Structure 1
Amino acid sequence: MSNTSGLNHLGLAVADLDQTTRFFVTVLGWQETARDASYPRNSITDGNLRLTLWQVDHSVPPKDFDRRHNIGLHHLALQVDTEADLLRLADEVAAWPGAVVEFMPEFMGSGPRKHMMFAEPGGIRLELVWMGV
């Protein structure tokens, strides 16, 4: 039996706090719930999952994360309710300035599940998943 009971929040270091927040709020429909300008950081939620976004220190050039060579977050997978939601969001992501689409919606394995991969403008790699039901 586990000694923990789920994810409280996931903290992500981002290149531009406002840019990443704007992407999550505008494209994915999340809500900003708290901001601390002294760090700076803020919290956002989709109503089920809470992320804390932390602004990286730009006094030295930040290094981009390399999922094949660094220990840490490979990607964050977010579930959508319908295939129509996935297709609509794929178009919105592809049109968003600075977002980089790795691949548009496609079957996971033999289907019917579908997913897409992309990086939000700040470089965080995200996956949108429709479970096919």
Structure 2
Amino acid sequence: MPTIGINHLGLTVRDLDQTTSFFSDCLGWELLARDDSYPRSTVSDGTCRLTLWQADKTQPITDFNRKTNIGLHHLALEVPSRDALDELAAKVRNWPGVQMEFNPEPMGAGPRMHAMFSEPGGIRLEIIWPAG
């Protein structure tokens, strides 16, 4: 196999400070790097690494539409338990600027559960408990 996995996922965001804060302060991810000359930041949960890029504010910014844009539909993050899903969903729901799409609910017939939301910078995220 010529590749061995994702090194990082790069995401363009509306407000670099808001999104970096959401991942580090709300989700508890580690801030690995910040380069204000580019501008970008890199965050990680120890398994997944994201590079967050500031959208060019001198140009019109278009919000993502999962039904009409090519590329990222959403980023799904796994949690280890149903309790962890409920706790994180409650924290996310109360975070300033978060748009909840839906609270934890079964995926299909269950027992898997998930919640969907957009973080303050506009990236659509899903939290999943795989129930197994």
Answer whether TM exceeds 0.5 for this pair.
Answer: yes
Ranges of 4+ aligned residues in structure 1 off by more than 2 Å: none
Aligned to 1:17: 16
Say if 2:44 is the partner of 1:45. Answer: yes
Aligned to 2:90: 91
* Alpha-carbon separation, structure 1, partners of 2:97 and 2:17: 13
Say if 2:113 is the partner of 1:111. Answer: no
For 1:104, the aligned partner's letter is N
**SS of the counterpart of 2:88?**
helix
* Alpha-carbon separation, structure 2, partners of 1:13 and 1:113: 30
1:79, CA displacement in angstroms?
A: 0.3
Aligned to 1:3: 2
* Alpha-carbon separation, structure 2, partners of 1:77 and 1:83: 15
**SS of the counterpart of 1:74?**
coil
For 2:33, the aligned partner's letter is A
Aligned to 2:55: 56
Say if 2:121 is the partner of 1:129. Answer: no
Unpaired runs of 5+ in structure 1? none
For 1:51, the aligned partner's letter is L
Q: TM-score, normalised by structure 1?
A: 0.97
Root-mean-square deviation (CA), in Å? 0.7
* Alpha-carbon separation, structure 1, partners of 2:111 and 2:25: 28
Aligned to 2:34: 35
**SS of the counterpart of 1:89?**
helix
For 1:112, the aligned partner's letter is P
Q: TM-score, normalised by structure 2?
A: 0.98
1:27, CA displacement in angstroms?
A: 1.4
1:72, CA displacement in angstroms?
A: 0.7
**SS of the counterpart of 2:103?**
strand
For 1:77, the aligned partner's letter is A
1:3, CA displacement in angstroms?
A: 1.5
**SS of the counterpart of 1:23?**
helix
1:4, CA displacement in angstroms?
A: 0.7
For 1:88, the aligned partner's letter is E
Task: Give percent identity, aligned residues only.
Answer: 58
